Amino acid sequence: METSTILYPQIYDYDNLILAWQNAKRGKTKRRYVKRFQRDLRENLIKLQEELTHQTYQPCELKTFTLRDPKTRKISKSAFRDRVVHHALCNIIVYTFQKGFIYDSHANQIGKGTLKALERFDVFKRKVSKNNTREAYVLKADIKHYFEEIDHQILIGILRKKIKDEKIIWLIERILSVNHRIKGMPLGNLTSQFFANLYLNELDVFVKHKLKAKYYIRYVDDFVILHESKEQLGKWKQEINTFLDERLKIELHPSKSNVLRLNSGINFLGFRVFSIINL
């Protein structure tokens, strides 16, 4: 199902901008930049509305800093007014795509998350090991430098499958090209989280419908496939890497993508998961 060709006005509708502001400030009401925006709320939202209406909107440059928690990550933060625009865009377009996601895509969606993904892993490991009575294996993998390598033109092509309003495409391209990027997205933005999930939905469809893998779970760029055959998982790993290279211009992380014995314990989403074989 495609979106309407005249959906763009819903993004800058004043009620949608109010909702976007409320979502953007959630959990941050004491921050100075939120208070500053709120002091002249109506004027700020009307200015954004005018810029979006006339397509003169230009995002501010990103502010970048490093987090160590304990893994070192470079976070790029958008100006608060731009975060309001991100929410306004996502309010309108996200549902159209999310309703087509596979059930076991678990990141950045209401009712999903790490706990749900771990629960599914537990269900799958019991099924594939026949309640821990036989040996089973896991392809545990993630994408090398994922957020840095997302190709903007491929992403736009994916978005165009359902978005036919060229003004929405224009806005997305503006958001993507901030700091003069031609690929990659900043960690931390709402749009980045959504686009990252959408980009790998292409992988989800390939794994579920082409490879026909039954026991597959993905959380952002971290995914697992469970199977009773080590050889089958090795073959799928090669096919997945070929697909990622040819279709999405990304690749599996060579040292973090391996076929492992399920009962050896699997690191997944910050937890160590075990399956003990009952003899």
| pLDDT tens track, the chain, 279 positions | 455 567 999 999 999 999 999 999 998 989 999 999 999 999 999 999 999 999 999 999 888 877 766 566 777 789 999 999 999 999 999 999 999 999 999 988 888 888 998 999 999 999 998 888 888 999 999 999 999 999 999 999 999 999 999 999 999 999 999 877 788 888 878 999 999 999 999 999 999 999 999 999 999 999 999 999 999 999 999 999 999 999 999 999 999 999 999 887 778 876 666 554 444
* pLDDT value, residue 220: 92
Place of tokens 């200015």: 47
The tokens for 203 are: 């992988």
pTM: 0.89
Distances (CA, A) of 22 to 35, 45, 84, 114: 12, 12, 9, 25
Q: How many CB atoms lie within 10 A of CB 13?
A: 16
Around 6, how many Cα atoms within 13 Å sit in the side-chain half-sphere? 0
Question: Is the Cβ–Cβ distance between 275 and 135 less than 8 Å?
Answer: no
Cα separation of 54 and 57, whole Å? 8
Around 244, how many Cα atoms within 13 Å sit in the side-chain half-sphere? 22
Closest among 73, 127, 94 to 23, alpha carbons compared = 94
